[in-house]
Amino acid sequence: MHIKTNDTVEVITGDDKGQRGKVLSIDRRVGRLVVEGVNRVYKHVRRSQKNPQGGRLSKEMPVRVSNVLLLCTRCGKGVRTGSRLAKDGTKERFCKKCGTALGVIAPSKKK
């Protein structure tokens, strides 16, 4: 998976298609992530000491990783990504469309 927390992604399918947001959390085991402002649902809560008002709370629910694309800083749109080794030995993500580096995945291995 080439998406990390705090990355900006674009939703490519579903009710929120075209929306962009920051990744809040990732569940790699299930293959889902929570994106800020995407896939919002209402959770009905009863009145309690913790929530004296009660009512409906709006919260984000997870979406499948396959339904989002990482946003390229240079292209300005959602793009497919790949991984490659840089000249200094670090493994990095890159945009398949323009070739821009999108961040380091792993540091270089010491010999």
**Which domains are present in the chain?**
1-71 (2.30.30.30), 74-111 (no CATH)
Q: What are the DSSP E strand ranges found in 1-111? A: 8-11, 20-27, 32-35, 40-45, 55-60, 63-64, 68-71, 78-79, 81-85, 91-95, 101-106
- For residues 75 and 81, the answer to whether their CB atoms sit within 8 Å is no
pLDDT (tens digit, 0 to 9) for every residue of the chain, 111 residues total? 789 999 999 999 999 999 999 999 999 999 999 999 999 999 999 999 988 998 999 999 999 999 999 999 898 889 999 999 988 889 999 999 999 999 898 888 876
Sign of CA dihedral 78, 83, 86, 91: positive
| pLDDT recorded at residue 108 | 85
- For residues 9 and 21, the answer to whether their CB atoms sit within 8 Å is yes
